[in-house]
Amino acid sequence: MSKAETPSLQEVRKVTLSTEQNTSTLIKDLKSLFKLPVLIANVLPVFTGFWLALYFSNASFAEHWDIFLFSILGSTMVMAGALIINNWYDVDIDTVMDRTKNRPTVTGHISLKTVLTMGIAFTIVGFILLLFTTVESTIYAFVGWFTYVVLYTMWSKRKYTLNTVIGSVSGAVTPLIGWTALEPGFHIVPIILFLILFVFQMPHTFAIAMKKCNEYSAAKVAMLPVVYGFEMTKRQMVVYVACLLPLPFYLAPLGNTFLVIATLLNVGWIVLSFSGFFMKNDLKWAHWNFLYSVNYITILFLTMIIVTLPIF
Q: Is residue 26 part of a domain?
A: no
Distance CA 297, CA 174 (A): 13
Position 115 scores a pLDDT of 95
Distance CA 74, CA 76 (A): 5
| Local structure of residue 250 (DSSP, 8 states) | G
Position 209 scores a pLDDT of 97
Print the domain residue range for 85.
34-306
- Number of structural domains (the chain) is 1
Position 11 scores a pLDDT of 59
- Each residue of 52-97: pLDDT tens digit? 999 999 999 999 999 999 999 999 999 999 999 999 999 999 999 8
Position 310 scores a pLDDT of 83
Position 285 scores a pLDDT of 97
227 to 119, 159, 233, 241: CA distances (angstroms): 31, 10, 10, 21
Give the mean pLDDT of the chain: 93
Q: Is residue 231 part of a domain?
A: yes
255: domain CATH number is 1.10.600
Position 19 scores a pLDDT of 61
**2 in helix, strand or coil?**
coil
| List of the chain residues with pLDDT < 70 | 1-21, 311-312
Position 98 scores a pLDDT of 85
